[in-house]
Copies of this chain bind each other. A is one copy, B any other.
Amino acid sequence: MSRVLDGDAAVAAFPLGGIGTGNVSVGARGELRDWELANAPDKGASLPFTCFAIRVARDGAEAVTRVLEGRLRPPHEGDQGYDAGRLAGLPRLARSRMRGEYPLLWVDLADPLLGAEVTLTAFTPLVPLDADASGLPGAVLRYTVKNIGDAPADVTVVGSMANPVGIARRNVFNFPEFEGHPRNDWVDDGVVCGIRFGTDLGEHDLRFGSAALATTDRDVTAKPQWLSGFWQDGVQVFWDDLCEDGRLEPETVQTLDPPPRPEWFTRLRVGSLGIAARLEPGAERDFEFLLTWHFPNRARAWQGNIGLDNAGAADVVRNHYATRFADAWAVARHLAQELPSLEAATRTFHRALHGGTLPPEVVDAAAANLAVLRSTTCFRLEGGVFAAWEGSFAHAGSCEGTCTHVWNYAQSAAFLFPELERSARETEFLRETRPDGRMNFRANSVFGNAPWDFHPAVDGQLGAVVRLYREWRFGAGDAWLAELYPAARRALDFAFAEWDADGDGVLDSKQHNTYDIEFFGPNSLANSMFAAALHAGARMAERLGEDADAERFGAAARRCAERMDALLYNGEYYEQRIDDVDEHRYQYGTGCLSDQLLGQQLAHVAGLGHVLPPDHVRSAIGAVWKYNFREDLSAHHSVQRTYALGDEAGLLLCTWPRGGRPRIPFVYSDEVWTGIEYQVATHLIYEGLTDEGLRIVRAVRDRHDGRRRSPWNEAECGNHYARSLASWGPVLALSGVDYDAPSATLTIRPRLAAPVVRAVFTAGHGWGEAEVGPDGAALVLHGGSLDLARLVVEHPSLGRLEATGVALRAGQAFTAFPLPAPTTPPEEK
């Protein structure tokens, strides 16, 4: 699904940047916005004077110089109008059109006066199953300029950028103030040339870092450092210089301001890199820039709002990417050198994801939310340790510690970058699960700080067991499983001891959970998860030869399911069983909880199948759809946080169709969370209620249309909220591709009623496209390798197709079934 947005889509922001690197985003006018390079969220942060511009001088005509952005749209408010750093008083282009299909972005820019058409192509490489290749702190910004006039034209495209290293705060004029002294240097190493943005801060300083604006083009013109000063000398001289002849002159002095210069004299250092070329009529040329950055140091503590121990905060710890690259220049050089292969893989993934036949809303949701993994919400520390917030507040992380009960919903990383989820399981089971099996649901071990002492989270802890199973089944290996399993067993046993007061196999004690309150008594959230976790435990135990465990957990799983069904199923859906729903605040009682079958949904995704009676499951998830999905929220009453409103559609967390709403129900019950919408949609599809599932996905994405909210940011408690990573679920459910590494089996059972189901898939160490058509099925592998003992296709008309011993390498296709290899549509530009 292509997000085509005009320049009035004011809140659309397409993030560039890799896993754990921070971001800069591109807005609907083609502008760079939201500079979040330095290990912290900073929505709305601008870099003064930082933009691209173009000068077109057609032979015989006056040159036209413009900022390479669509025009600014109202409102134009600001306490100083637009501050000088925004360059709002320079002319821009009449039309812009953004087309975002994560991870690729295009922005078309045009103006009747320009005599040229421009398309910006922007991306950060994304290669499935390769977190390093997908974790580059940088982006490609490629301006393709076509001379649409009838005369040759001299064209200069120039990027200007303020040195972003050391920014400590912004003053009332919105100008950054720096620690250390930024400096700009011209560098040409034969591979790339451009401006290296550095600092005199020490390399262990928290704000130490570098950035680069570079190119492999050799037709360059540059002003590596503008004049600096109290007023706008620098930008005035730069702009006049550009307008005059399209060539930039280096400045010979740093400032025109005479000494003595006050202590607060600006440290802002802006530089410009241009590419200049002559274009014949009708000719087209790329003007390609590489923007990279390198902020190696994080404080060795979360310093988050939950208040985990921050003892290490005075030290720094390095980002994983900083162990791979010495500085931003090295990133730029690497990006330049590897760009052909990185771009090819990125474009192939893009085509596989966006060019298949899955419904566009599903592709849009899955693709757009991959940005979470490459947002400020997630990071990797030296050694590759994955850690994440729940989301990102505007200027700080939200809710630290890779929260188990929020990350419970996430599926994207598990199937696209499994090493990240494996790292999270290692943290949870090897470092955050105590001897008695209680798991700290927020991890502080990633920083080596003291563990968090709080209630255990019933859903997060048990979900982690299911996810351990998922990771193992996707290819983490038996040795890995064997290392983590003992803690998983403790975690399961802890559940009996902690939460099953009456020993009936159904959890019923005080149960803290993802709604940030405690449920009391038997309830569907905890027990559907318990059933799934026990099943997962039994399977893992069986594999590891822990037969006693296997039998015990298997029996407990059956008992839990049976008793939960007996206790909680009301003939239509699963409730919470509690005598007086108002004895404790924040319960749901007879309510229809959207998450009532979260454990079952996780079980489906993890390949465990039904852990509860299928007919009851189908009825219950249907009830969630029936009662909790609202086509219009104009008359909805909620005093809670608001993620959907007015004429928007959305799925409520809970409703009380049979009455019995508590006086004070749980504190998010009237809200709408995209993560839950996706898990419910996924579940509906698994149960055959595909249309209903798709309707929910469309509702989410309609709310994120670039005018209401950014398509690339689904917020909950924070931007780029982790729970939205449940959006990979519908891809899995619809394509029906299921990989079982232990048995080396790939099964394809499409749940989309379409003549051809062609979709991206991942499987352990390989990824590609799977296609099921009227006459058969086929696989093509785009990356990695795939060694299958069995390939099974549950074909809608042909029945079960099986092949054995299928081994594919990147570029190879399996065509033994009577179907040609997947067809790849012509690439969109």
Contacting residues of chain A (558-593) with chain B, CB-CB under 8 angstroms: 585-586
**Cβ–Cβ < 8 Å partners of A172 in chain B:** 305, 393, 396, 398
Task: Considering the complex, give the chain B residue whose CB is closest to the CB of A714.
Answer: B81
Q: Cβ of A634: which chain B residues have Cβ within 8 Å of it?
A: 71, 91
The answer to whether the Cβ of A392 comes within 8 Å of any Cβ in the partner chain is yes
Contact at B89–A11, with CB atoms within 8 Å? no
Quick check: which of A488-496, A607-615, A702-710, A791-799 contacts chain B, the rest being far away? A702-710
- CB-CB under 8 A for A715 and B79, given A233-B664, A664-B233, A708-B74: yes
Q: Which of B87, B707, B716 contacts A80 (CB 8 A)?
A: B716
Q: Mark A157-183, 1 if CB is under 8 A from B, else 0.
A: 000000000000001100000000000
Interface segment, one of A635-643, A728-736, A801-809: A635-643
* Cβ–Cβ < 8 Å partners of A90 in chain B: 637-639
* Surface stretch bound by B, among A196-204, A234-242, A321-329, A406-414: A234-242
Interface on chain A toward B: helix, strand, loop, or mixed SS?
loop
A717 at the B interface (CB under 8 A): yes
Asked if A231 is an interface residue, CB under 8 A from chain B, the answer is yes
Is the C-beta of A435 less than 8 angstroms from some C-beta in chain B? no
- Chain A 730-768, CB-CB to B under 8 Å as 1, else 0, gives 000000000000000000000000000000000000000
Q: Among A77, A78, A91, A717, which residue has the most Cβ atoms of chain B within 10 A?
A: A77
A77-B232 in contact (CB<8A): no
A11 to B74, CA, bound (A): 10
- Asked whether A715 lies within 8 Å of B80 as measured between CB atoms, the reply is yes
| Chain B residues within an 8 Å CB radius of A330 | none
Docked-complex contact A81 and B256, CB < 8 angstroms: no
Contact indicator A231/B635 (Cβ below 8 Å) = no
A71 touches B717 (CB 8 A): no
In the bound assembly, the distance between CA atoms of A710 and B81 in angstroms comes to: 12
Task: Give the residues in chain B near A826, CB-CB below 8 Å.
Answer: none
Is A639 within 8 A of B707, CB to CB?
Answer: no
Cβ contact of A77, chosen from B74, B75, B391, B709, cutoff 8 A: B709
**Is the pair B77, A640 in contact by a Cβ cutoff of 8 Å?**
no
A240: chain B residues at CB < 8 Å are 663
Chain B residues whose CB sits within 8 angstroms of the CB of A398 once the complex forms: 79-80, 172
Q: Would you call B89 and A641 a contact (CB within 8 A)?
A: yes
A784 to chain B, nearest CB (A): 37
Instruction: Answer yes or no: A50 CB below 8 A from chain B CBs.
Output: no
The answer for the CA separation of A3 and B26 in the assembled complex, in Å, is 36
Which B residues touch A708, using CB under 8 A?
74-77
CB–CB A663/B88 < 8 A: no
Task: Say whether B585 contacts A79, CB under 8 Å.
Answer: no
Contact status B89-A640, CB under 8 Å: yes
A84: Cβ under 8 A from any B Cβ: yes
Q: How many copies does the complex hold?
A: 2
Query: Shortest Cβ distance from A426 into chain B, in angstroms?
Result: 29
A72 and B237 contacting across the interface, CB-CB below 8 Å:
no
A119 within 8 A of B: no
B80 in contact with A718 (CB, 8 Å): yes
Complex: A318 Cα to B486 Cα, angstroms: 69
A719 interfacial contact with B, CB 8 Å: yes
Tell me, yes or no, whether A154 is within 8 Å of chain B by CB.
no
Count the A residues whose beta carbon is within 8 Å of the partner chain — how many? 75
Task: Assess A88 versus B645: contact at CB under 8 Å? Given A76-B709, A715-B81.
Answer: yes
Docked complex Cα distance between A201 and B215 (Å): 60
Q: Is A86 an interface residue (CB 8 A)?
A: yes
Please state if A642 and B81 are interface contacts (CB–CB under 8 Å).
yes
Chain B contacts for A586, CB-based, 8 A = 231
A232 B86 Cβ-Cβ under 8 A? no
**Residue of A11, A80, A391, A586 with highest tally of chain B CB at under 10 A:** A80
The A51-92 residues at the B interface (CB cut-off 8 A) are 65, 71-72, 74-84, 86-91
Which residues of chain B are within 8 angstroms of A43 by Cβ–Cβ distance?
79
Q: Is A786 an interface residue (CB 8 A)?
A: no
Interface assignment of A260: CB less than 8 Å from any CB of chain B: no
The answer to whether A10 has its CB under 8 Å from any CB of chain B is yes
In the bound complex, CA of A335 to CA of B710 (Å): 46
A634–B664 alpha-carbon span in the complex (Å): 55
A641→B517 CA distance, assembly (Å): 50
Residues of B with C-beta under 8 A to A633: 89
Residues of B close to A78: CB separation below 8 A? 715
B231 lies within 8 A of A637 (CB): no
Q: Shortest Cβ distance from A511 into chain B, in angstroms?
A: 17
B80–A11 CB distance below 8 A = no
Q: Which of B82, B642, B664, B667 contacts A82 (CB 8 A)?
A: B642
In angstroms, how far is the closest chain B Cβ from the Cβ of A291?
22
User: Is residue A148 contacting chain B, with contact meaning CB distance below 8 A?
Assistant: no
- A671 to B84 alpha-carbon distance, docked (Å): 10
Flag whether A421 is at the interface (Cβ < 8 A). no
- Residue contact A640 to B585, C-beta cutoff 8 Å: no
Tell whether A383 is near chain B: CB-to-CB under 8 Å: no
By a CB distance below 8 angstroms, the chain B residues around A585 are 231, 233, 256
Give 21 A-B contacts (CB < 8 Å), ordered by A residue: A75-B709, A76-B708, A77-B709, A77-B713, A80-B717, A82-B641, A88-B642, A88-B645, A89-B633, A89-B636, A89-B670, A91-B637, A113-B635, A172-B305, A172-B398, A231-B517, A231-B664, A233-B585, A233-B664, A236-B664, A243-B637
Task: Apart from A76-B642, A77-B709, list 19 A-B contacts with CB within 8 A.
Answer: A11-B75, A71-B646, A74-B707, A77-B708, A77-B710, A80-B641, A80-B716, A81-B641, A81-B643, A81-B715, A83-B641, A89-B636, A89-B640, A89-B670, A90-B637, A113-B635, A172-B305, A231-B585, A232-B639
> What are the nearest 8 A-B pairs in CB distance?
A89-B638, A88-B642, A81-B643, A82-B642, A89-B642, A74-B708, A235-B639, A231-B667
